[in-house]
Structure 1
């Protein structure tokens, strides 16, 4: 089911922007850079990694597949999608759905650096091709005590999040260093996304007022 965006955005000439994700974070990020989506249409795909699939390739493949699935429903419009993969070495961490899953992720990330791969894909209105970008960010986490892990688990901010954490929430207090795109870890790499949307939509951003 799609969700209609603002009337002001829909009234603009040219193709509409469709976000192929139900993520409130991605919607907010697009609005932040002046491209609020006209409609929200989450993509329903199998996100299971393929055998021996590398984390970087998984992020790009899932973003592209999401864009392709939703683009078929919106001919003439621009579709943007994203996917975030958290990896400890070559190990792909799940989108934590249970407290135990989240606890396992946090224990793996404690006291070490890990990589976050964010894929974003943009299907232009003419559908000639889907343009994909993959951004890598390194995140270093402090050594977490059992008490800190339990308190974070109690917050439920980990639910449904890749790697069992949301960097824009309380977990930010545990981050020692970020090398790369902060917004990519949140949900979309904004520099790359803005460049693709400017070309695909053929219009300048409309920045929100304070």
Structure 2
């Protein structure tokens, strides 16, 4: 069986790209539009893992024997409500109004798929605590930072992370969109030739 020697990232997220770069991993980006709906009976981590695996399946027949594909999906859960990417600025304001002053959970599902058909799916969870925010603070953030491409309408690495996140329980990088410690561990088992050391 061939050991993968090429890592492909199926994500347009600049944060995921930076995290892989910071891990000293060499990779190529391969993009494809994939439907991100999910069965309504799934909950929390199941949703993130389903979406990551669903994205990977779209590439299954295209992978060469020496390739391993990484797909990921991040969701924000407030109680049992899933907060996906906001539709517009007002939707972002609505989401952040719900999140302010409370704790919520961020799940990132990851799928690693090799050209030989080996597949590993896992997820990581981080609890994020927000202080209470005023409407003016929320609107400032949404208008200045335009978080319309982010689950839950925020990015922990920008202003709101600095000004509003009071505590994290779990991986900070998971909130950014990729639990890199788990990615490294799984690649070490699945495709050790991809690691720089």
* TM-score in terms of structure 1 length: 0.86
Instruction: Give yes or no for the alignment of 1:159 onto 2:148.
Output: yes
Mind listing any 5+ residue stretches in structure 2 that lack a counterpart?
A: none
What's the counterpart of residue 54 of structure 2? 65
Report Cα offsets for 1:113-142 as digits up to 9, x if no partner. 000011011012421x31011101000001
Aligned length: 193
What's the counterpart of residue 7 of structure 1? none
What's the counterpart of residue 170 of structure 2? 180
Counterparts of 1:37-186 in structure 2 under 5 Å?
A: 37=27, 39-76=28-65, 77-127=67-117, 129-172=118-161, 173-186=163-176
CA spacing shift, 1:14–1:47, aligned 2, 3 Å: closer
Aligned with 1:198 (options 171, 188, 197): 188
State the distance in 2 between where 1:45 and 1:55 align.
20
Mind listing any 5+ residue stretches in structure 1 that lack a counterpart?
A: 1-12
State the distance in 2 between where 1:71 and 1:80 align.
12
For the aligned residue pairs, the C-alpha RMSD in angstroms reads 1.7
Report Cα offsets for 1:27-61 as digits up to 9, x if no partner. 11111112131x21124222123223212111000
Report Cα offsets for 1:148-188 as digits up to 9, x if no partner. 01110111341210000011111112001000011011011
CA spacing shift, 1:206–1:151, aligned 2, 3 Å: same
Structure 1 residue ranges (4+ consecutive) displaced by more than 6 angstroms after TM superposition: none
What's the counterpart of residue 35 of structure 1? 25
